[in-house]
Structure formats: C-alpha cells, structure tokens
Amino acid sequence: MTGVVIDGKAVAARVREEVKADCISFQEQYGFAPKLIVIQVGDFGPSTIYVRNKKKACENVGIESEIWHLPDTITQEMLLEKIDQCNTDDQISGVLVQLPLPDHLDAVACRNAIDPKKDVDGFHPINTGKMIAGEESLLPCTPAGIIRLLDEYNIQTDGAHCVVVGRSHIVGKPMAALMLERNATVTVCHSHTKDLAQYTKQADILISAVGQANMITAEYVKPGAVVIDVAMNRDEQGKLCGDIKYDEVSQIASAITPVPGGVGPMTVAMLMYNCLLAARRNR
C-alpha cells in the first residue's frame, strides 16, 4: 500500500496566503510593507535563478524586495558596509546574502555581520543559540518548513524516534534541534556513520539531507515510517530526484515527500514567513 504523499506545494501555498493576508494588515498598521534585501555578488547562474525566485515570491505576498547585485570584484570591507547599511535602515525588515560567494570573500563573516533581528535565513549564531535553547528566534527556512509539513499532516513527533541523515548547519543540525524541541528522540547520522541502515531502519521519522541520488532504498526504511526527503539531485538520466528511492520507499512508508514538490516549495514559503515575522518583531 502506497503511503500518503506529503504535498509541499499545497502547504506552501497556504503559508503564502497567510503571509499575504498578514502583509496587508501590517501595511495598514504601519504605512509601509515588509522589505527584503537580497545581496548577490557576481553572476553565478544558479544564484541568479534562486534570487529571481525569491523576488517573485515576495511580489506574490506583498513583501517589497530589492536585489543588490554587486560585482564579484567587491572587497570584503565594501560588502560588510552594504550589510551594515541594511542593518541600520529601519525600513528594511530582512537581509540575506546569496551563497556561494567568490573565493576571496568570507561567507561566515558576512553571515555574522547581519543583524540577528533581520537574519531571515536563520543562520546567525545568535539565532542558532536561541533555537538550541528553545527560545524565540528566526528559524532556518528548510527545517522550519519541514516542521510545518509534519504539523499540517498531523504527524506526531512526541516520543517518536527521528533519524536525521546529514549534519549541515543549514538543515541537519537545526533539524535535529527542532525535533528535540518537539520531544522526539533524535539520532543524527552522517558520512562517517558506520552501517547507516541499522540506524535508519529504527526511524519513525526519517529525514534525509545528504545530496546523493536515490541513496536511501527500501531496505533502509522501517515499514510505516514517515520519510522526508530534503535533497535535490539529478539521477543518471538527468531526472530530478532526492536522496530517497521514491518508487521503492513510497510502497512501505506511511507518508513521504516527493521530489520535486515536497520540501522544496516550503523553503521559499518560510523565507516569506520569516520576512513578515522579522518586520513585526522589529516594530
């Protein structure tokens, strides 16, 4: 029996509609719209696509947005000045620096220079620390989007064993922290884990963010598990796929996210949510 397909597109659409309604009330209350600045350095093709998608998403929900497109010859000092300009402008609700940056620029220094109250990516160490402590903070968009998906589908985390495959600061580590906050028992696996399947087969909720096409097959998954695929890969035929071998695992999982159409749409939707949240808190 095929598991429930978790429709990220539909949930993301609901999040966007909520943000759109709240943006209208925000503008009525304060006389201006929330505003996002996206700083892009250079002309890296995929970054240009991502930035364009973010701007379009802002337009659709009523968030004002600007792309500050800077030359790839910009110095670290000049880039930090641009970030500080955003920090000190009360009309700007959120700021993010699109990665990757050219090799001569320090991405960590740029991340740390963003005002934590405007850190809509949720990557600043202060926001990370607050998240770990269970305090109110701006959360990383992809993990926050996964939590929203679990809630929308009434998937219980309390007491569940959650196995997270991947330990990046963007997905794996914050995902583990958020699941702990939801009273799950969490195991984190990574590239140095020996006999990965022995851990993943214990998962009530399996979340994979590795970036290896079709790596997780049915033999890695406990029947009835909820399976969340965060990755976006290309298989040998060039077809878009995730870490999870969907055709196999969907036959034994109780619920599963497809790729595309699962976690992906939630990331941009939660960025919009963070922009509005930052705007409200900064008032």
Instruction: Write out the catalytic residue numbers.
Output: 54, 98, 121
Torsional sign, CA 275, 104, 71, 101: negative
- Closest CA relative to residue 250, chosen from 237, 261, 265, 239: 261
- Contact 123/170 with Cβ under 8 angstroms? yes
- Contact 36/94 with Cβ under 8 angstroms? yes
| Cis before 100? omega within 30 | yes
Which amino acid appears at position 266 of this protein?
A: M
Q: 8-30 and 45-61 helices cross at what angle (nearest 10)? A: 60
- Closest CA relative to residue 36, chosen from 70, 81, 67, 69: 67
> Tokens for 103?
């090799």
- Closest CA relative to residue 223, chosen from 246, 207, 201: 201
- Contact 120/275 with Cβ under 8 angstroms? yes
